[in-house]
């Protein structure tokens, strides 16, 4: 069994302790949550689609636990000049095993192989340092195995591509960038880095490394919970936002929010977290009572597919496909309106028409971010004849999150004003725990499955019901949260 792999090497560049735990104690990692899995699924889909850009290529369809089979299969494909590209090629050298996204054969005039181009496929829209490190390791192993690699490239999504309708233009959807020179510069440092990691992995115990900001860059480390389980809730890294001299404070032995020196410069939110008490401004009651009935509570759900689905859209363009509106009358009566696109056609025109009907011309429209305003901007640009009506709606928007950020804080927010952090602190009886869909990323992925992949109508109906329940919970939460907070502040603070 090889001690290093591509993924472990990249983990080792982020943190010595991470690569040690991934090698010796992977069971300590926190499994990816639903939102992370949805993002990973999107990256996998892009990788599969990218292969179609190389017709005639062959996939080494052996799982990552079938190492010997994958190596033997790859060896046969490497020797066959008729194969223009190999997907998931398995190669080992210097004690390191890699699987390449795309290994493209470069053929000379005589029809024989003169070299190779290694291509790393990314769902991102630009190159990153971690991508160059990834390719550098692949070059190191491929060259060590005796392959002549003439070029290293990154293949990523081109956000300038405008989808004109089927079929997809894969030449326009993907951009392939030659990064050979940048990769070559990193190759110089690579052998020493590999040797240091191999030596590290031979140690009887993981290195003693304090968790810190490096745990979140370039990716969130799955061992964060494991490494911070003994930390207090008042640990300094739990302070939201940036603290310029954070490392200097740790070097001085200050690792608690409560130990921060009096004169240190903090943001208003950081000051509230340090105070650790329920706080409200003198203006909060007045601001909450500014709403005009009927009070609407609006939330959009959107998709941002890497592969555009509707003509005239681009990769990662935000497309609204669903909304919910809980309406409270002055007498306390609650009415719920909703919209969910049911087909594969562009839903935006119907969505905005139905929305304008629901919102009418009267009443405050409560939202929980600036996101709804931005979605409405895009809809107004798309449908100019509705621009005036949409502009009138935007003037009625009331950002509940901004109100809270300016006028209220509760210690149980733990420094966050996200709806899912605020709700349990003020209204613990209303949560998302009973829902099949609990976050926006999962909602987007499930919508795409329902609209473009799912053939089973029973399963389609199940997903649609789950999507409606999730979006409705967001707007109901805003309504109940606003009422509960108003009732709370009319009573003395405990």
Structure tokens at 254: 């200050």
The string of pLDDT tens digits covering residues 104-134 is 999 988 888 999 999 999 988 888 999 999 9
The string of pLDDT tens digits covering residues 391-421 is 999 999 999 999 999 999 999 999 999 999 9
CA distances from 165 to 46, 48, 308, 351 (A): 18, 20, 9, 21
Residue length of the chain = 494
* Of the candidates 366, 326, 372, the residue with the CA atom closest to the CA atom of residue 352: 372
**Confidence category of residue 161, pLDDT binned at 50, 70, 90:** very high
Q: What's the pLDDT at 42? A: 75
- For residues 135 and 118, the answer to whether their CB atoms sit within 8 Å is yes
The string of pLDDT tens digits covering residues 345-382 is 999 999 999 999 999 999 999 999 999 999 999 999 99
The string of pLDDT tens digits covering residues 239-265 is 888 877 777 888 888 899 999 998 888
The string of pLDDT tens digits covering residues 261-279 is 988 889 999 999 999 999 9
- For residues 179 and 135, the answer to whether their CB atoms sit within 8 Å is yes
**Rounded Cα–Cα distance for residues 285 and 358 (Å):** 28
Percent share of the chain, pLDDT over 90: 82
**Rounded Cα–Cα distance for residues 20 and 15 (Å):** 9
Residue 494 pLDDT > 50 = no
Percent share of the chain, pLDDT over 70: 99
**Rounded Cα–Cα distance for residues 177 and 410 (Å):** 49
Q: What's the pLDDT at 263? A: 85
- For residues 194 and 9, the answer to whether their CB atoms sit within 8 Å is yes
Q: What's the pLDDT at 492? A: 54
Residue 40 pLDDT > 80 = no
Residue 2 pLDDT > 60 = no
Residue 189 pLDDT > 80 = yes
The string of pLDDT tens digits covering residues 294-315 is 999 999 999 999 999 999 999 9
**Averaged pLDDT of the chain:** 93
Average pLDDT over residues 182-189: 95
Cβ-count burial 269-298 (b if 16+ within 10 Å, e if not): bbebbeeeebebeeebeebbeebeebbbbb
Other CB atoms within 10 A of residue 261 CB: 8
Average pLDDT over residues 276-299: 95
**Rounded Cα–Cα distance for residues 454 and 447 (Å):** 10
What would you measure as the largest C-alpha separation in the chain, in angstroms? 87
Whose tokens are 């080792």? That residue is 12
Q: How far is CA 201 from the centre of its chain?
A: 30
Residue 1 pLDDT > 60 = no
The string of pLDDT tens digits covering residues 44-74 is 889 999 999 999 999 999 877 899 999 999 9
For residue 270, what are the contacts with CB-CB under 8 A and spacing of at least 6?
Answer: 239, 240, 241, 243, 415
Q: What's the pLDDT at 491? A: 66
Residue 84 pLDDT > 70 = yes
């Amino acid at each position: 069994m090889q001690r290093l792999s591509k993924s472990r090497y990249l983990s080792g560049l982020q943190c010595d302790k991470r690569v040690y735990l991934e090698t010796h104690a992977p069971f300590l990692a926190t499994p990816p949550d639903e939102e992370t899995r949805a993002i990973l699924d999107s990256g996998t889909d892009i990788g599969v689609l990218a292969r179609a850009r190389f017709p005639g290529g062959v996939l080494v369809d052996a799982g990552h636990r079938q190492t010997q089979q994958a190596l033997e299969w790859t060896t046969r494909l490497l020797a066959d000049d008729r194969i223009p590209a190999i997907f998931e090629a398995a190669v080992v050298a210097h004690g390191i095993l890699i699987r390449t996204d795309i290994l493209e054969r470069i053929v000379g005039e005589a029809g024989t192989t003169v070299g190779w181009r290694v291509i790393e496929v990314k769902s991102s829209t630009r190159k990153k340092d971690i991508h160059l490190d990834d390719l550098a390791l692949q070059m190191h192993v491929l060259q060590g195995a005796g392959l002549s690699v003439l070029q290293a490239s990154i293949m990523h999504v081109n956000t300038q591509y405008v989808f004109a309708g089927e079929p997809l233009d894969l030449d326009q959807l993907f951009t392939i960038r030659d990064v050979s020179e940048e990769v070559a510069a990193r190759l110089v440092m690579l052998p020493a880095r590999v040797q240091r990691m191999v030596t590290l992995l031979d140690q009887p115990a993981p290195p003693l490394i304090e968790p810190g900001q490096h745990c979140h860059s370039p990716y969130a480390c799955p061992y964060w919970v494991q490494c911070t389980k003994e930390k207090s809730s008042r640990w300094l890294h739990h302070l939201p936002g940036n603290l310029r001299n954070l490392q200097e404070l740790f070097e001085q032995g200050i690792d608690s929010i409560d130990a921060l020196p009096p004169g240190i410069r903090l943001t208003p939110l950081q000051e509230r977290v340090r105070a650790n008490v329920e706080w409200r401004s003198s203006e909060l009651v007045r601001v909450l009572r500014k709403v005009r009935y009927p009070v609407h509570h609006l939330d959009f759900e959107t998709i941002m597919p890497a592969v555009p689905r509707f003509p005239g859209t681009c990769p990662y363009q935000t497309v609204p496909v669903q909304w919910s509106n809980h309406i409270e009358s002055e007498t306390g009566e609650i009415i719920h309106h909703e919209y969910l696109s049911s087909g594969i056609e562009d839903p935006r025109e119907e969505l905005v028409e139905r929305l304008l009907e629901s919102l009418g011309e009267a009443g405050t429209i409560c939202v929980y971010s600036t996101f709804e305003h931005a979605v409405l901007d895009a809809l107004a640009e798309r449908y100019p004849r509705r621009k005036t009506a949409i502009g009138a709606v935007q003037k009625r928007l009331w950002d509940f999150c901004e109100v809270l950020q300016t006028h209220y804080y509760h210690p149980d927010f733990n420094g966050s004003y996200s709806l899912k952090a605020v709700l349990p602190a003020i209204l613990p009886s209303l949560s998302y725990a009973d829902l099949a869909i609990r976050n926006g990323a999962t909602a987007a992925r499930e919508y795409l499955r329902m609209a473009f992949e799912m053939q089973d109508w029973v399963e389609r109906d199940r997903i649609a019901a789950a999507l409606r329940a999730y979006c409705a919970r967001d707007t109901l939460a805003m309504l109940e949260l606003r009422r509960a907070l108003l009732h709370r502040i009319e009573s003395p603070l405990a």
